[in-house]
Structure 1
Amino acid sequence: MIRVLLADDERMIRAGVRAILSADPGIEVVAEAGDGRAAIDLALAHRPDVAVLDVRMPTLDGLAAAAEIRRVLPDTQVVMLTTFGEDDYVASALAGGANGFLLKASDPRELISGVRAVADGGAYLSPRIAHRVLSELGGDRLARTSSARTRVGTLTPRERDVLALVGEGLSNAAIGRRLHLAEGTVKAYMTTIMGRLGARNRVQAAIVAHEAGLVAEVPGPRA
């Protein structure tokens, strides 16, 4: 059972997200908060597997709450919820230790997939928002794309297959099942991949996968 803390200052949004997550028999929402400070207190009290946090909240915003939760509870994974037009928050969220980034307007199945992915040790960037936020992570988009493709070019075909699935948010176990590899083999691939890409963590590797075009991007509505 994946235990989830949900934090959003809008009650209707919380109710909707809770209903979506509760529809999955393997997910339980154990606590809810309306601001970032309360989210931290409840995280310490319940020690959830995943904290789903809105970016903008009163008292303490989701970015600060995410960073503090990751600092005091390193085993709790964090998924940030956002809307179009808040792309500039992504870099700060990832720097603070967030493992996933989802749009509130995403397909409900994507929310469940994202929570399951990070709970299982993966990293999840909503395909609908990835192509909008990459340019906000620093540097020229074309230069970053070129750099990412050059770095990915150092990988073997099998390593690129693994990286593409990392970009989709799959954990090592899920990648192993998809590619018919032992989980330990996938782990070894990941060590090599992150070394060649110069990625410090799985989220950075996922970003490179998106930048290099290894992950199919689904265009979202314009802001």
Structure 2
Amino acid sequence: MLYYILKYAVLGPLLRVLFRPRLEGLEHVPEEGAAIVAGNHLSFSDHFLMPVMLKRRITFLAKQEYFTGPGIKGRLTAAFFRAVGQIPVDRSGKEAGKAAIREGLGVLARDELLGIYPEGTRSPDGKLYKGKVGVAVMAIRGKVPVIPCAMVGTFEIQPPGQVVPKIRRVSIRFGEPLDFSRYEGMEDEKAILRAVTDEIMYKVMELSGQEYVDRYAADVKAEESRRFRGLIG
């Protein structure tokens, strides 16, 4: 209930007025049935701007940190994500990844839309980074299409670390659904999962116009953090 109140009565109208999102390719998102929407992740604003533009409800796998943050801000963030039905994901290991896949497949089994950021974290610099293969596992095992999605301009309005977004126009682009039914039963083959994930990321890159980096964003962030600690140590 709160999801639809926020979408149609509170957040939706406000975001449409402030950011005037340009929508492209909305016809590629199916009106019914299970599907995965796989997009780039540039900004905290992505969590709000894309869902309010879709006609259907979409459930995202959200990082667990959004549900466990300290202080008033942390409690408010957790309450919001729980209220709109988002699923917390522990990103700390292999077993955690399996749990996330189970949760995602549960959403798809209910014939709903599942939102995924294959990069696994926000881009630190606006570039597009290597995707993790969980999206491929869910697409093949769930026998569902993947709709590539590109957020354009959200890094500029709210890069990592910026609390209040700038007010400027953004674009949201959806590509044609990708069908991976030819790989049915092959979701345990690493080469297949890598190929499927790379195909998804290539389509996202085409839609977004981002520079692609063949590394995981989390690794780049970890390196930057170690370098920073070394400078101040």
- TM-score over 0.5 (shorter chain): no
- Structure with more contact order per residue of length (Cα contacts < 8 Å, sep ≥ 6): 2
TM-score (norm 2): 0.28
TM-score (norm 1): 0.28
